[in-house]
Chains A and B, each alone.
Chain A
Amino acid sequence: MADKKKMSVAEILAAARAADGKGTAAPAAPADQPAESAAEPAATTAAEKPAAPKSAPAAKPAAGGARPSVADILAMARAKKEAGDAPAAAPAAKPAAAAKAAPAKPAAAKPAAAVGGPKTGVQRDTASILAAARAGAKPGPVSKADAPTRPAPKPREPKPAEERAAPPRTVATVPPKPVKPAKKGEEAEDRRGFLQIALGSAMALGFTALSVTSGLFTLGLARFMFPNVLAEPPSKFKVGFKDGFPSGKVETKYVPQYGVWVVNGDFNGQQQIYALKTVCTHLGCTPSWLEAEQKFKCPCHGSGFYKDGVNFEGPAPRPLERYAIRIADDGQLEIDKSRTFQEELGQWADPESYVTV
């Protein structure tokens, strides 16, 4: 209670409950004895503490059957707080605040009460107070037709009238957990409403049409991923007879068109003709063949490869890749770029990756 303006949730709820408990009596039985007796001390206390009455009671002249808005609850709570600072210490202040709140509190006269339910004097639980506060966004009289559809917390144990006069519970008391209100009727209506919204409205129709159209459009776009014609050079091409590749020669004339070096070289003691892919295994630049140094050297980051394609300097992590090569039916060497062979996976042992000289 250090800060006067701030109130804990518990206090607010307690105040609301207190107001409920007292207030129910007012509209239901205005001449009721306990209610009047409660109102009397209220008047006296109010006179003593003129600051208190300002906030709450005046705020709510509109009486009959209105639900309390959040603002109401807070106002009441504040008024109570000012009137009796420590509710437990000064119990007399309690009824005072409650009675003051009473005219504002036909909320107490919940819809259920209006229909004549045994609601009066029931201690309201947290859920119902909050629900009421939320629903109270547009406070106003609840029609009779509307009333039964509203979820009403089950009355736990209706208290006898004389108990009402007793001082309300102290803040410290923790109310028992609320029983979940049954919601069957509402759910059924929701489902119906959904169907109505989904199929009935023109907006839904429009959105359905839009989503179907855009789905088809996307599918149509995806069709472009699979063209009927590919403007690519054939993956298989012939590079001439074996005699054209003398031992130790790196043929670079197929690089511009096909991106391949045809090499007659020695790999693991075996003389082979193989086709190396002209893509550096580091970042994909095209290395150049340096005849004087007998190595492939990449201009981007300085990777170097021996004539057999094995990396030995710079950052390249693995040897150059080989394309498939074979002797075609006419005796010429035929390179197939659709298949590659990687040394680190042991694929250079595959007889399709080279032609023995």
Chain B
Amino acid sequence: MHSNGFFLKDVAGFLGGYYSAIAIMNGIAALILWRKKGQVGWALVWTAVAVVMMVLASLALSGSSSMVPALPASVRGLVNNLSGPVLYTLGTVALLTVLFVFRKFFVRPMVAWAILNAMLVLMGLSMADENFASIVMKPDNVPIVGLVFLLAFFTWLATKQAVVNDERIAQGLPTVEKENDEKVLVWPDLVYTELICMVAVSAFLLVWAIFLQAPLEEPASSVKTPNPSKAPWYFLGLQEMLVYFDPWYAGVVLPSLVIFGLMAMPYLDFNKKGNGYYSIEERKFAYLTYQFGFFVLWITLIILGTFLRGPNWNFFGPFEYWTPYKVEVLNNVDLPQMFWVNLLDRPLPKASPGASGLVQAGTILLREAPGLLLMGAYLLLLPPLLAVTVFRGYFAKMGLVRYMIMANMMLLMLTLPIKMILRWSFNLKYIISMPEISLNF
């Protein structure tokens, strides 16, 4: 939208270096593969990619802003129009599901390398867009970009080892960890490694601090809130959760439950397998539950909050200009309103102003009856119901107390995606809404 020659000249230098770096990266990969016997084909492929990257780099450095490689405006417009919180969340879930189901394919080093190249190139092409670049290159957003790549890498690394182990276990072989024992001596091996890492990371952080300075804003004022007002990046998932809940729940109860749930894990886990080695097949339930909570309910929300939430906490496409005047219709209503007014076509139960406290409390309870019944059924009826159906084996192995803790933790964790879906699909604000006593759910 705002791409112009001045901006492109600024960013072109960076992009030239960026594409050159990708080219060098691919060149080194090709060299390594060339030296290994039998990988000549792949070596040629990555050499070709390196050549293409060199071409892109020279285009970026050509000095003409029209030559800088960029995504066509039509594609960017389409992405902007399509993107929204619903598509983003469902899309990431679908993507992660595909990655999980076809993990045997995706963990192959050549496939992973190709994906890394694609991600980097897509990023470079997007950087030629001013709106995208202004958000991604903001000093406090750079760590999130790093987070995306680092997380992808480490997840790939762990998944690869798990896939290899799963295959070995299926064949009756010992795991990789057992076969080539990686144990080292604390002194000197581990301590030296740690020392080198410490020096390297300190040097890196120093350079980072010098070149990317922390953004300073105007002095804080209790009556002026920056727009958009964002939490530190690691709390942006929490801020996104707060959009769907009352502060006491999304800000206090859910984070505490995350901590307590993580603490309870060793006591809830009765699966003795997977101890000391990577494996997915042997602990699918634990793996999927954790990855869902971590990736979908935490990381994607951080990315959403960082890159896609703009002024007034409105959703903006990745190439959209962050205007504080964007109009979005987000009207929502509480469940009692839906039930009494929209469904039964009656006014909300309301006590007369002079009524006694008991009558007023009774009226509030009657008004909130549908929500209270729903929540009661969800938290009290579902666990036993699950115990005799889906989780029958778990219930038998865990016993009542451990099973109930596990089931309730899971149900409370699922309140977040359920509430998000209800908000998007039915414009539901709160299931239980008792502002009189500041209790909303």
In the complex the two chains form, is B325's CB within 8 Å of A292's CB? yes
Which of B12-20, B35-43, B200-208, B238-246 lines the interface with chain A? B238-246
With A315-B429, A317-B438 already in contact, the answer to whether A298 and B313 are too (CB < 8 A) is yes
In the complex the two chains form, is B229's CB within 8 Å of A299's CB? yes
Main secondary structure of the interface of A (DSSP, over half): loop
| A301 contacts chain B at the CB level, 8 A cutoff | yes
Distance in Å from the Cβ of A294 to the closest Cβ of chain B? 11
In the complex the two chains form, is A255's CB within 8 Å of B223's CB? yes
In the complex the two chains form, is A299's CB within 8 Å of B312's CB? yes
Q: Which of A256, A288, A292 is the most central at the interface, judged by chain B CB atoms within 10 Å of its CB?
A: A288
With A290-B325, A312-B331, A346-B353 already in contact, the answer to whether A301 and B224 are too (CB < 8 A) is no
| A318 contacts chain B at the CB level, 8 A cutoff | yes
Contact size class for B? 35 or more
In the complex the two chains form, is A299's CB within 8 Å of B223's CB? no
In the complex the two chains form, is A314's CB within 8 Å of B243's CB? yes
| A89 contacts chain B at the CB level, 8 A cutoff | no
In the complex the two chains form, is B313's CB within 8 Å of A317's CB? no
| B362 contacts chain A at the CB level, 8 A cutoff | no
| A110 contacts chain B at the CB level, 8 A cutoff | no
Measured between beta carbons, the chain A residues less than 8 angstroms from B171 are none
Measured between beta carbons, the chain B residues less than 8 angstroms from A285 are 225, 229
User: Considering the chains assembled together, what is the distance between the CA atoms of A255 and B245 in angstroms?
Assistant: 27
Across the two chains, which residue of chain B brings its CB closest to A259?
Answer: B223
Measured between beta carbons, the chain A residues less than 8 angstroms from B244 are 315
In the complex the two chains form, is B440's CB within 8 Å of A317's CB? yes
| A40 contacts chain B at the CB level, 8 A cutoff | no
Distance in Å from the Cβ of A293 to the closest Cβ of chain B? 6
In the complex the two chains form, is A315's CB within 8 Å of B436's CB? no
In the complex the two chains form, is B332's CB within 8 Å of A349's CB? no
Across the two chains, which residue of chain B brings its CB closest to A292?
Answer: B325
In the complex the two chains form, is A344's CB within 8 Å of B242's CB? no
Per the CB 8 Å criterion, the residue count for chain A at the interface is: 30
In the complex the two chains form, is B436's CB within 8 Å of A345's CB? yes
Interface 1/0 per residue, B397-441 and A, CB below 8 Å: 000000000000000000000000000000001100101101010
In the complex the two chains form, is A300's CB within 8 Å of B330's CB? no
| B213 contacts chain A at the CB level, 8 A cutoff | no
Interface 1/0 per residue, A198-231 and B, CB below 8 Å: 0000000000000000000000000000000000
Interface 1/0 per residue, B310-322 and A, CB below 8 Å: 0111100000000
Distance in Å from the Cβ of A281 to the closest Cβ of chain B? 8
User: Considering the chains assembled together, what is the distance between the CA atoms of A301 and B314 in angstroms?
Assistant: 9
Across the two chains, which residue of chain A brings its CB closest to B230?
Answer: A300
Across the two chains, which residue of chain A brings its CB closest to B351?
Answer: A346
Measured between beta carbons, the chain B residues less than 8 angstroms from A290 are 325
Measured between beta carbons, the chain B residues less than 8 angstroms from A304 are 330
| B356 contacts chain A at the CB level, 8 A cutoff | no
| B389 contacts chain A at the CB level, 8 A cutoff | no
Measured between beta carbons, the chain A residues less than 8 angstroms from B243 are 301-302, 314-315
In the complex the two chains form, is B229's CB within 8 Å of A302's CB? no
Measured between beta carbons, the chain B residues less than 8 angstroms from A283 are 242, 247, 251
In the complex the two chains form, is B226's CB within 8 Å of A299's CB? yes
| A119 contacts chain B at the CB level, 8 A cutoff | no
In the complex the two chains form, is A349's CB within 8 Å of B330's CB? no
| A282 contacts chain B at the CB level, 8 A cutoff | yes
Measured between beta carbons, the chain B residues less than 8 angstroms from A286 are 222-225
Measured between beta carbons, the chain B residues less than 8 angstroms from A255 are 223
| B227 contacts chain A at the CB level, 8 A cutoff | yes
Measured between beta carbons, the chain A residues less than 8 angstroms from B436 are 344-345
With A299-B312, A301-B313, A318-B435 already in contact, the answer to whether A282 and B223 are too (CB < 8 A) is no
Measured between beta carbons, the chain A residues less than 8 angstroms from B239 are 300-301
Across the two chains, which residue of chain A brings its CB closest to B350?
Answer: A346
| A190 contacts chain B at the CB level, 8 A cutoff | no
In the complex the two chains form, is B221's CB within 8 Å of A298's CB? no
List residues 248-294 of chain A with CB under 8 A from any CB of chain B. 255-256, 259, 278, 282-283, 285-288, 290, 292-293
Interface 1/0 per residue, A122-135 and B, CB below 8 Å: 00000000000000
User: Considering the chains assembled together, what is the distance between the CA atoms of A293 and B239 in angstroms?
Assistant: 25
Measured between beta carbons, the chain A residues less than 8 angstroms from B228 are 299-300
With A315-B242, A315-B244, A315-B246 already in contact, the answer to whether A302 and B435 are too (CB < 8 A) is no
In the complex the two chains form, is A314's CB within 8 Å of B433's CB? no
Across the two chains, which residue of chain A brings its CB closest to B227?
Answer: A299
A297's partner among B246, B247, B312, B329 (CB-CB below 8 A) is B312
Q: Which of A299, A304, A345 is the most central at the interface, judged by chain B CB atoms within 10 Å of its CB?
A: A299
Interface 1/0 per residue, A334-351 and B, CB below 8 Å: 000000000011100100
In the complex the two chains form, is B247's CB within 8 Å of A299's CB? no
| B210 contacts chain A at the CB level, 8 A cutoff | no
Interface 1/0 per residue, B213-237 and A, CB below 8 Å: 0000000011111111100000000
User: Considering the chains assembled together, what is the distance between the CA atoms of A292 and B326 in angstroms?
Assistant: 10
Distance in Å from the Cβ of A256 to the closest Cβ of chain B? 6
Measured between beta carbons, the chain A residues less than 8 angstroms from B251 are 283
| B327 contacts chain A at the CB level, 8 A cutoff | yes
| A163 contacts chain B at the CB level, 8 A cutoff | no
In the complex the two chains form, is A282's CB within 8 Å of B242's CB? yes
Measured between beta carbons, the chain B residues less than 8 angstroms from A302 are 243, 312-314, 330
Measured between beta carbons, the chain A residues less than 8 angstroms from B242 are 282-283, 300-301, 315
In the complex the two chains form, is B312's CB within 8 Å of A317's CB? no
Distance in Å from the Cβ of B298 to the closest Cβ of chain A? 17
| A186 contacts chain B at the CB level, 8 A cutoff | no
In the complex the two chains form, is A278's CB within 8 Å of B223's CB? yes
Distance in Å from the Cβ of B50 to the closest Cβ of chain A? 45
B331's partner among A288, A292, A313, A318 (CB-CB below 8 A) is A313
Measured between beta carbons, the chain B residues less than 8 angstroms from A345 are 436
Listed from nearest, the 6 A-B pairs whose CB atoms lie closest are: A302-B313, A318-B435, A299-B227, A313-B330, A344-B435, A286-B225
Show 9 residue pairs from A and B whose CB-CB distance is below 8 angstroms, ordered by the A residue. Answer: A256-B221, A292-B325, A299-B226, A299-B229, A300-B239, A301-B239, A312-B332, A315-B245, A317-B246
Q: A287-B225, A302-B243 are in contact. List 8 more A-B contacts (CB 8 A).
A: A256-B224, A283-B242, A299-B226, A300-B225, A302-B312, A314-B243, A317-B430, A344-B436
Give B contacts to A, CB under 8 Å: 221-229, 239, 242-247, 251, 311-314, 324-325, 327, 329-332, 353, 429-430, 433, 435-436, 438, 440
